Amino acid sequence: KAGVTQTPRYLIKTRGQQVTLSCSPISGHRSVSWYQQTPGQGLQFLFEYFSETQRNKGNFPGRFSGRQFSNSRSEMNVSTLELGDSALYLCASSFLGALSTDTQYFGPGTRLTVL
Amino acid sequence: QKEVEQNSGPLSVPEGAIASLNCTYSDRVSQSFFWYRQYSGKSPELIMSIYSNGDKEDGRFTAQLNKASQYVSLLIRDSQPSDSATYLCAAPNQGAQKLVFGQGTRLTINP
């Protein structure tokens, strides 16, 4: 069974631009979660989608948004990029979401650099 | 108190020894825990999960959960240089659809 895929793997943008990242979950998984990882803040939760609905959102500004399609693929968008948005963006998929025993599997991540 | 807390290390252990990684948690998380390993520049990969009090063994890895003390640990026996990585402890937030991660412990196994 194929794992979680993310595209692109690397991105370089300049301040003020916007970016869209894509995630394809493991076949059969309906939940997709997004995380931002930086050296200073660690892994921080952005949002989670299940059956095209956002069920939870982390403490990030409105510049960060996402969506999920009927085939469970998900995209996240960051508008008006800031230097501090430079990070590794990770997507994780699971059957049902962050329930007590549901395992999340991570994709390889997208490394975003904002200049 | 943070929901999940780990000592960030670094933790240095000689090859062949037992590495012990620890995590404490608050009442704000569900008592199911996941240990992930993350190599530098890579994404986290699941090592073990534990949901019940006590020990759970898988090869060289043993997870221990003590709900009374709100403490979970990961032991790595016969440590190998390939075990050098950052180890992340995670738990689902109570009532929210998200995993909460500790800061991670950087482990180095010295040959």
So what's the pLDDT on residue A99?
A: 61
- Between the CA of residue A89 and those of A34, A65, B10, B36, B42, what are the distances in Å? 7, 13, 24, 16, 11
**Encoded tokens for B110:** 């010295």
So what's the pLDDT on residue B9?
A: 82
Chain A CB within 8 Å of residue B98 CB: yes
pLDDT along chain A (115 residues), means of 10: 92 98 95 93 92 92 97 97 97 78 90 97
Say which residues have a Cβ less than 8 Å from residue A92's Cβ, sequence separation at least 6.
Answer: A4, A32, A33, A34, A35, A104, A105, A106, A107, B99
Put simply, the answer to whether A31 touches B46 (Cβ < 8 Å) is no
Q: What is the mean pLDDT of residues B93-97?
A: 75
So what's the pLDDT on residue A100?
A: 57
So what's the pLDDT on residue A97?
A: 66
Separation in Å, CA of A2 to nearest CA in chain B: 15
Which among A42, A56, A90 is the nearest to B98, CB-wise?
A56
So what's the pLDDT on residue A106?
A: 96
Chain A CB within 8 Å of residue B101 CB: yes
Which among B88, B96, B104 is the nearest to A56, CB-wise?
B96
Put simply, the answer to whether B43 touches A109 (Cβ < 8 Å) is yes
Put simply, the answer to whether A106 touches B45 (Cβ < 8 Å) is yes
Average pLDDT of chain B, as a whole number: 92
So what's the pLDDT on residue A41?
A: 87
Please tell me which residue of chain B has the smallest CA distance to A97: B97
pLDDT at B96 over 80: no
